[in-house]
Amino acid sequence: MKAKKNLGQNFLIDEKVIMDISNAINVGEDDLIIEIGPGMGALTKYLKMKNVPLVCYEIDPDLRPYLNKLEDTNTKIIYQDILLSNIVDDIKDIHYNNLYIVGNLPYYITTPIIKHLIALNIKIKEMIFMVQDEVADRFTALPKSSEYGSITLYLKYYFQVTKLFKVSKKSFEPVPKVESAIIKFVARDNKPNINKELYFKLINDAFRMKRKTLKNNLKDYDLTLLEDFFHRNNLNDTIRAEALDENMFLELYNSLCKRVP
């Protein structure tokens, strides 16, 4: 089958990489796996060996000839755009303990997919995704690095994100233009107790113009409170957002956004 570029179809052909991804998913016997974009089933066939219910979302019905033979009572393929899926409804009759979401993602919608999954508000235990290597670096960046940004902090609010290993372009057919990496998201059970909408707005505002100072990016906030924050934390008021780790951002949130009821 001719791969469809517009659907991000780069199929995995390196059996060792496929096994490494599968081995990174440690499900228990009562767990459930969701796979995004099974393609021709390269990873699906290993996921099936875990003997737990498996639900896959594939947008391209032309892949049916490959995927039909993988369907059985435990494995269901839903031909639908993952961004339009209502996973909550689709899995409501499955009894499971923990939910794992896996996929060699279509790179053109990596972040929308993750945001869609978060917005569904389902309890996810872990997510293991193949993403573009550069994106993996942004998702897992440390403060003071050029990759660190609002998306890093947004994801960190929900998950502990780690890059597991890089994957060479040669592991795919057709060969993509970019390098790839496997990342793992583990749900955090100590999420900060804050108004997350206000917090996400604050981090977006703080990183709006990366070259500008934090003070400049936050000029619509209360300047006195911001200066108090700098003073209390011994910070120079010329610092940029990238200098602050999550704890500092939470401190900044408490200084600028927290409302006393």
Residue 103 or 149 having the CB closest to ligand SAM: 103
Residue 166 or 208 having the CB closest to ligand SAM: 166
CB of 248: closest distance to ligand SAM in angstroms? Answer: 36
> Residue 251 to residues 3, 180, 199, 232, 247: CA-CA distances in angstroms?
48, 35, 11, 10, 6
Please give the residue whose beta carbon sits closest to ligand SAM in the complex: 37
CB of 121: closest distance to ligand SAM in angstroms? Answer: 20
Query: Cis (ω within 30 of 0) for the bond into 106?
Result: no
By CB under 6 A, tell whether 182 contacts ligand SAM: no
CB of 63: closest distance to ligand SAM in angstroms? Answer: 6
Residues 51-80: x/- map of binding to ligand SAM (CB under 6 A)? ------xxxx--------------------
Q: Name which position in 33, 34, 37, 255 contacts ligand SAM (CB under 6 A).
A: 37
By CB under 6 A, tell whether 83 contacts ligand SAM: yes
Residue 52 or 109 having the CB closest to ligand SAM: 109
Q: Name which position in 25, 38, 127, 207 contacts ligand SAM (CB under 6 A).
A: 38
CB of 257: closest distance to ligand SAM in angstroms? Answer: 34
Binders of ligand SAM in range 93-112 (CB under 6 A): 104, 106, 109
Residue 120 or 198 having the CB closest to ligand SAM: 120
Residue 187 is encoded by which pair of tokens? 């749900």
Q: Name which position in 15, 30, 81, 228 contacts ligand SAM (CB under 6 A).
A: 81
Residue 172 or 229 having the CB closest to ligand SAM: 172
CB of 113: closest distance to ligand SAM in angstroms? Answer: 7
CB of 256: closest distance to ligand SAM in angstroms? Answer: 37
CB of 154: closest distance to ligand SAM in angstroms? Answer: 21
Q: Measure the CA–CA gap between 147 and 136, rounded to whole angstroms.
A: 10
- Which is nearest to 244 in space by CA: 114, 256, 134, 191? 256
CB of 197: closest distance to ligand SAM in angstroms? Answer: 26
Full DSSP string of the chain = ----GGGT--EE--HHHHHHHHHT----TT-EEEEE--TTSTTHHHHHTT-S-EEEEES-GGGHHHHGGG-BTTEEEEES-GGG--HHHHTTT---S-EEEEEE--GGGHHHHHHHHHHTT----EEEEEEEHHHHHHHTPPTTSTT--HHHHHHHHHEEEEEEEEE-GGGEESPPSS-EEEEEEEE-SS---S-HHHHHHHHHHHTSSTTS-HHHHTTTS-HHHHHHHHHHTT--TT--GGG--HHHHHHHHHHHTPPP-
State the residues that interact with ligand SAM by CB under 6 A.
Answer: 7-12, 36-40, 42-43, 57-60, 81-83, 104, 106, 109
